[in-house]
Amino acid sequence: MRFVALLSLIWIGCSSTEQPTPVDAAGGELDAGAPAVTLDAAAQDAAQIEPADAGSPADASSPQDAQFIADAGPDCMSMAPGYAKQICLKPWIQDLTRRDGAADALCAAEDLLESGQVSDCHLLAHFVGEVVFEQNDRDPARSLVACPATCLSGCGHQVMQELVEVRDLNTVFREQGSDAVDQELRALVGVCRAYEGDNFDRFILCVHGIGHGLLSSGFLSPLEAAQLCDEELGLEGISCAAGVFMEHTSRYLRLEEDQLLETLPTICAMGGSDWEDLCWRNVGEALMWFYGHQLEAATAACNRLSGEDPVKACSEGAEVEAGVAEMQQGTCP
């Protein structure tokens, strides 16, 4: 699991039982109509880009022999391994999930990884999770059971992210107030608690997915979302917070390289917060996705940062991801 590798490097925050009221960056009550913290203009533009349509493999069970048909869009297989290629493959992996099921789709994703067509299949597994959630009538328990752990449990992560987004915390806050939001968040954590005793791995992937959803829902800033993970989950909140910062940093990966490098120093500029270290580690991980797991390129980008601590955290995050990528192979059921 990805969080196991992270736990060896990131600090464990203190826990608190007090329920937070959503606030903006200045400490005032959050305006539910907009996120507390927004990306800069370049990253906002990138976030609006729709995934390109992917070609379809002639034989998904043998992707090393597959010839992708270009009539549905660009030939994804001609792209270099990296984040952009997985975005291109989204329609293909989701169509495969609908036709053959999550397990076969994830095996096809792992085959692409093992043949060198992609350098990571975790994002493809997230795309599978979107379909699984819909196929199971948005029932998180059924969806989590339907998600194989292939490609580092990205399917299960996405299920919980989808669940948080469906709850629409912005509307809950606007219509019912902060107490109702607190109740919703406790219910979300309760979904994960059901697995805490007898399936700890599923519990961890569940709370990690909540972290993704807290950030992607636009209701909280990265700092607020990470703190909420800590307050709701204590020690296990670190996996939730890792989901927050994975979601935060991955938003920048649709930028062109020059834009990404220009924006890089601002991604985790959080006023000296203790969460900055975890954020910078996720930047290193994200750079590995961007550069197709070329460690030298990712480390060179990390070295552009100012300050010894951000450079160190970013570089270590990249190095951890280099090892984690290898863990994705050989797990197809």
| Best-predicted range by mean pLDDT (36-40, 45-49, 184-188, 298-302) | 298-302
How far is it, in rounded angstroms, from Cα 107 to Cα 211?
A: 26
Query: Is residue 155 within 8 Å of residue 148, measured between CB atoms?
Result: yes
Residue 173's pLDDT band, with cuts at 50, 70 and 90, is confident
Q: What is the full DSSP assignment across 106-137?
A: HHHHHHHHHTTS-S--HHHHHHHHHHHHHHTT
- For 16, the token pair is 């608190």
Residue 56 Rama label (left phi>0; alpha psi -120 to 50; beta) = beta
Residues 57-97 have pLDDT tens digits of: 333 333 333 333 332 335 888 898 989 999 999 999 999 99
Three-state DSSP class for residue 285: helix
Within 8 A by CB and 6+ apart from 306, the residues are 265
Report the candidate in 162, 143, 116, 165 with the shortest Cα–Cα distance to residue 294: 116
Q: What is the mean pLDDT of residues 308-328?
A: 92
Q: What is the mean pLDDT of residues 201-207?
A: 93
Report the candidate in 274, 249, 277, 275 with the shortest Cα–Cα distance to residue 263: 249
Within 8 A by CB and 6+ apart from 259, the residues are 42, 46
Residue 28's pLDDT band, with cuts at 50, 70 and 90, is very low
CA dihedral sign, ordered 178, 184, 189, 190: positive
How far is it, in rounded angstroms, from Cα 280 to Cα 269?
A: 9
Q: What is the mean pLDDT of residues 32-46?
A: 40
Residues 249-307 have pLDDT tens digits of: 999 999 999 999 999 999 999 999 999 999 999 999 999 999 999 999 999 999 999 99
How far is it, in rounded angstroms, from Cα 4 to Cα 300?
A: 25
More confident site: 129 or 65: 129
Residue 321's pLDDT band, with cuts at 50, 70 and 90, is very high
Query: Is residue 99 within 8 Å of residue 269, measured between CB atoms?
Result: no
